[in-house]
Amino acid sequence: MAEDRDLERLFEGLRRQDEASAPRFRDVLAGRIVSGPRVALRLPVLRLAAVVVLLGVASVMAVRFVRRAPEQALPEKETPIAAWSSPTAWLLETPGRELLTEVPSLLDSPPESSSEKTDGMRNPTPLRKGDRS
């Protein structure tokens, strides 16, 4: 088991080594120590990321433009809103629909063809004796 003194000795050795590798105070304060490798590595990645983003945005805009173009090419009809009717309005036109809104007149004269037939039935001419043959 490492005792406290052993730990102190180990930590102190590590600290002394770190302290010995410290750059000058003025250089650190002035920021003269530039982390060169990191900048050199990061820039190409940022550029690549920017190019990919720009290409993505451009392609999305192009696809949208192509899809919208035929719709925009159609001439717009200038139809007043009051004249508009649904394309499926004809489905509401049922046979005999006028019976719901109008009262049919019973006094109207029936068609001639049918009245002739019925008149003959209602008022038959009396037969005479000689007519049977």
Partner 1 sequence: MTRAEIEAELERLHPAAFAWALACCGRDREDALDVLQTSYLKVLEGRASFAGRSSFKTFLFGVIRRTAQEARRRSLLRRLALADWSRKRPPAPAPPLPEERVALLRALEALPRRQRQVLELVFGFGMTVEEAAGTLGISPGSARVHYERGKKRLRGTLSHG
* Site residues for partner 1 per CB under 8 A: 1-2, 4, 7-8, 10-15, 17-23, 25, 28-29, 31, 33, 35, 37-38, 41-42, 45-46, 49
Q: For partner 1, which is the closer residue by CB, 22 or 103? A: 22
Q: For partner 1, which is the closer residue by CB, 12 or 119? A: 12
Q: What is the sign of the dihedral through the CA atoms of 49, 50, 52 and 56?
A: positive
Q: What distance in Å separates the CA atoms of residue 71 and residue 62, rounded to the nearest whole number?
A: 15
The least CB distance from residue 63 to partner 1, in Å, is 24
Q: For partner 1, which is the closer residue by CB, 52 or 61? A: 52
The alpha carbons of the chain give a radius of gyration, in whole angstroms, of 52
Q: What distance in Å separates the CA atoms of residue 112 and residue 123, rounded to the nearest whole number?
A: 16
Proportion of the chain in helix, strand, coil states, percent, rounded to 5: 65, 0, 35
The least CB distance from residue 70 to partner 1, in Å, is 38
The DSSP code for 89 is G
Q: For partner 1, which is the closer residue by CB, 42 or 68? A: 42
Q: What distance in Å separates the CA atoms of residue 44 and residue 38, rounded to the nearest whole number?
A: 11
The least CB distance from residue 57 to partner 1, in Å, is 16
The least CB distance from residue 12 to partner 1, in Å, is 7
